[in-house]
Amino acid sequence: MTAATHDAWLRRAETLDLPGAHLIDGVEEPGGGRTFRAVSPRDGRVLAEVADGGAAEVDAAVAAARRAFDHGPWPRLAPADRGRVLLRVADLLEEHRAELALTVSLEMGKPVTDAHDIELRAVINTFRWYGQLADKLTDESPHTAPDALALVTREPAGVVGAVVPWNFPLTLAGWKVAPALAAGCTVVLKPSENSPLSALLLGRIALEAGLPPGVLNVVNGNGPVAGRALGLHPGVDVLAFTGSTAVGRHFLRYSADSNLKRVWLELGGKSPNIVLPDAPDLDRAAATAAWGIFFNQGEMCTAPSRLLVHSSIAEQVTEAVVRRARELRVGDPLDPATEMGALVGEQHLARVLDHVGDARDDGARLLTGGARTLTGTGGVYLEPTVFDRVAPDSRLAREEVFGPVLSVLAFDDLDEAVALANATEYGLAAGLWTSDLSTAHRVSRALRAGTVWVNCYEEGDLTVPFGGMKQSGNGRDKSVHALEKYTELKTTWIQL
């Protein structure tokens, strides 16, 4: 289906069967009767009426997860058996790949080819990787005196609340749900109110794959109500959140005000992308810089939104990025020729345009874009936007825009580049382009970021952890390290 035509995707969209109820204890529940509309940013069309959950629905889902953890089979299964269920989830995600990609594209606006080829590949690989890992973990037996035996074991932490955003609704759900399930935990997943439909489909698929009722529950609702109820719930042992830094602060407060549940946060970013004169390929560096900021409409926490370029090559690199921005095809997410789709909604577009307006007022030079486009479609589209002459202390250089807006800042030496790169409250990711191995090592060590890409951007696989420093959060998704969030260390000391 990845090679399907525009017309084929349109026809499929007309017959798509979309869920709307919560998934609690293995049953699709309408909840208390409150609903909200899932509206497609593609054209403003209402996709579905979705059950709007609150404290009652969260209570029911947490109770189901608690029963499944305390009395159900899932935590007590052999790890290999849990792994086989996760592998079956991956297989079913593959079978439903076109349906899921279409749902993601319709609900949050990304090009359907990106949803199919990138997002679905990521979530399928995530469930498959943790399914294969489940029975390959080992505990510890430290060396002790001859008259004692010490065991250090990792045990499932309990009920996990997972709150995930709309920009990669399945990928980021998978990064939390898959390792939590592999560890033997049960989960209450709250997707964003902007992207509930794909999460509900994931819940259906997990049941079909053989996950026992109550092990994975999905509750829809907005953050200040359903998210808050989950964060405050005393029956939740671990809370994993991906989203804004402002909301992350709320979850820490909820933990302090309830049961001191562990809270793992993956938050915002204002990632620098440093291009040095000795970059191995300046054209590729510029093309990657443009791809990185405009991919997924710039709605990406790791987006390289600050392009830091040495003054000797700044004009050359910036011209190449602007040229690519002007060539980029913005259009219907269901058209395979589209390279940049719709922003997630009107409120988010207004926020991005507010940043654009402030940048102009602050004296930055607009090189291209900066305006809404395709206004006749009913959708939410923005031109790819590039500013240079951006002041390092300006709002555009310091705050996360979460849209297709690039800031270009020039520097004269390496120390200045590192200082500019670190001059932010965030520390999620960074890029560096250089041919000098020593420079690559020195600068990578100096950058306060959870991931540093050298001569590339957004590369990696499930073997490596992902997460941030500073106000970009704590803990790590992906890799074996993600399991640390969902397990408790227990020491057993046996006197012989």
Instruction: Give the distance, in angstroms, between the CA of residue 165 and the centroid of all CA atoms in the same chain.
Output: 6
- Of residues 54, 55, 64, the one with CA closest to residue 23: 64
Spell out the residues 6+ positions from residue 409 whose beta carbon is closer than 8 angstroms to its own: 306, 307, 308, 309, 388, 390, 392, 397, 420
What is d(CA 371, CA 384) in angstroms, rounded to the nearest whole number? 9
Longest Cα–Cα distance in the chain:
79
- Of residues 411, 443, 191, 426, the one with CA closest to residue 314: 411
Q: Which sign, positive or negative, has the C-alpha torsion 123, 305, 283, 413? A: negative
Q: What share of the chain is helix, strand, coil (3-state, %, to 5)?
A: 40, 20, 35
* Beta carbons of 93 and 120 less than 8 angstroms apart: yes
* Beta carbons of 318 and 388 less than 8 angstroms apart: yes
- Of residues 335, 323, 407, the one with CA closest to residue 364: 407
Rg (CA), the chain: 23
Spell out the residues 6+ positions from residue 303 whose beta carbon is closer than 8 angstroms to its own: 269, 271, 292, 293, 295, 296, 402
**Segments of 369-467 assigned E as strands:** 372-373, 381-382, 385-388, 405-411, 426-427, 429-433, 451-454
Task: State in Å, rounded, how far the first CA of the chain is from the last one.
Answer: 63
Question: Which residue is associated with the tokens 């009913």?
Answer: 378
What is d(CA 144, CA 74) in angstroms, rounded to the nearest whole number? 33
- Of residues 310, 318, 402, 323, the one with CA closest to residue 356: 402
Catalytic residue among 99, 119, 193, 266: 266
Q: Return the ∠ at Cα 343 (arms to 342 and 349), rounded to 5°.
A: 130
Position 269: which residue type?
G
- Does 383 participate in catalysis according to the annotation? no
Catalytic residue among 301, 339, 458, 484: 301
- Does 301 participate in catalysis according to the annotation? yes
What is d(CA 466, CA 480) in angstroms, rounded to the nearest whole number? 11
- Which positions are annotated as active-site residues? 266, 301
